[in-house]
Structure 1
Amino acid sequence: MARRPGRRRGIWAIALLVLGVMLIAGPLAYMRVRFTPVKQFGDNMLPTIPVGSLLLMEKDHGEVRRGDVVTYDPAEWGYDGPFVGRVVALGGDHIAYTMGDRTLALNGKPLDEPYVPDGEAGAGGVGFAVSVPQGRMFVLGDNRGNSQDSRFHPEHHRGTLPLAAVTGVDSGMHEESPLMVVLGLPLSAGICLLPLSLGLGIASLVVRRRRPAEAPGPVWGATQVDVP
């Protein structure tokens, strides 16, 4: 039997298409399972997180630590989330601010906060002294002068929230991070393969139109009949 013209190109086109789709779908599926994208619309985390930034929050974040930037559900405060804030104290900690001080005090010692502009640790004009219950956290925004955070909800467990309210922890991932580079390689390869497979598929169709398949040869045992 004669081979159909363009058949090999067609097979390669399908194979490259499948491979390209797999290389694209794999990293995207991984990102979807592990991370949740969150858009920062407010300015409560300036200057650390500019307005309009897209954050990749880890869903399976494990233990929440002091200094983590998190998304959290402020349902206990009567708001709809998620909010973005920074965990400054955890269960067993004593966090305090006295008006006029330049820093917060964590367990009696000045809290180093390089993410807060100099001299603005207490901006907002609210003093507090909170012993955080176990299993809860005290959350503040980096932009202390414009942040709706734990300072303003003392009626709800002294402004603390349960750790269960955390819906994601900022992964800190960006374009140059190692994981993004690793995920970007197969994704880029898959994107490059799609037009290549499309080109091979078009070439296969063109060849088939221009070169019709050869007629099959004589069949052994056939009887020739003369037409009058």
Structure 2
Amino acid sequence: MSGTTKNRDGHGRLGSVLSGLAVAVGFLLFLGGLAGGALLYRPYTVPTGSMAPTLDVGSKLLAQRIDGDEVRRGDVVVFEDPLWGQATMVKRVVGVGGDTVACCGTDGRLTVNGAPIEEPYLPTGTAGPARASTEDFTATVPADGLFLLGDDRITSLDSRTHLDDAAQGSVPRSAVVARVDAVAWPLPGGLVDRPAAFAALPGGTSDPGPVTLLLTAVAAGTALILGGAAYGPLATRPRGRGKSAGEKVKA
């Protein structure tokens, strides 16, 4: 009997050590993911429907804190420009310094430096994709400027509204405070895609930040904490009555 008891105690001690280790690692992953998210990202709530259907009103976003120099065509950015009012806004970058942005081409598409841009987020009707803009325009983006449009071209107040400004509707790169990487709510959320048509232009598109890695760390940490904490009650739960040491057994 002493050998059996010793064996059980050994397994119990090992289980307790592994349980404690799982909880400790879980806390490191969980807190590391949260701390990294707080440092690299800022939460943002979409105030209007100007970015629908990509971003609906009230959507909760994770926007990476970046410098304006890191912005590429196709990015959805959060920016603040006094000439556009005091509100924090979110729009898609369709042109950068030196670009000529125009609409619309013969097929109703937006063009950047004469190249037509396929925009999959625009609505499609029975007659084909909608025009990229309800009104025609041509604008040259100044150096260090960004030309911004909402994905809902009917309701969005964007660079087209400011075409008569000195910068022809562009905002300086320094106005950007963050780049939207992912939708956190409503579920299932997910990463915000960069259209392939922008990737084909010089400079390409940007890569998402470490949002997936950070969310995975938080999820894995939560699982380890819960699993490790549950081990104790499960390990000490009675497994049924055995025969006592003094109970007689018939031959």
Stretch of structure 1 that moved more, 39-48 or 108-117: 108-117
In 2: Cα distance, 1:79 partner to 1:112 partner = 32
Structure 1 residue 178: Cα displacement: 4.6
Alignment partner of 1:74 is 2:81: yes
Aligned residue identity for 1:128 = F
Alignment partner of 1:145 is 2:151: no
Aligned residue runs from structure 1 range 76-115, under 5 A = 76-81=83-88, 83-98=89-104, 102-115=108-121
Structure 1 residue 38: Cα displacement: 0.9
Judged with a 3 Å threshold, the aligned counterparts in structure 2 of structure 1 residues 165 and 196 are, in CA distance, closer, same or farther, namely: farther
Alignment partner of 1:51 is 2:86: no
Structure 1 residue 190: Cα displacement: 3.1
**Which one has the largest radius of gyration?**
1
What does residue 154 of structure 1 align with?
163
Structure 1 residue 53: Cα displacement: 1.6
> What's the Cα RMSD here?
3.2
SS in 2 for 1:92: coil
Gaps of 5+ in 1: 1-7, 204-228
Alignment partner of 1:41 is 2:52: no
Picking from 110, 114, 122, the partner of 1:116 is 122
Residue deviations 1:162-208 (CA, integer Å, cap 9, x gap): 011111112236569852324421233235556779x7xxx9xxxxx
Judged with a 3 Å threshold, the aligned counterparts in structure 2 of structure 1 residues 17 and 99 are, in CA distance, closer, same or farther, namely: closer
Residue deviations 1:109-135 (CA, integer Å, cap 9, x gap): 222212212213113xx3221110110
In 2: Cα distance, 1:68 partner to 1:140 partner = 11
Aligned residue identity for 1:65 = R
Verify the 8 A CA contact 1:136 1:163 in the aligned structure 2. Answer: yes
Verify the 8 A CA contact 2:30 2:219 in the aligned structure 1. Answer: no
SS in 2 for 1:168: strand
What does residue 202 of structure 2 align with?
none
What does residue 65 of structure 1 align with?
72
SS in 2 for 1:171: strand
Gaps of 5+ in 2: 1-12, 124-128, 184-188, 192-210, 237-251
What does residue 188 of structure 1 align with?
223
SS in 2 for 1:96: strand
In 2: Cα distance, 1:171 partner to 1:131 partner = 27
Verify the 8 A CA contact 1:22 1:190 in the aligned structure 2. Answer: no
Count of residue pairs brought into register by the alignment: 188
Alignment partner of 1:129 is 2:132: no
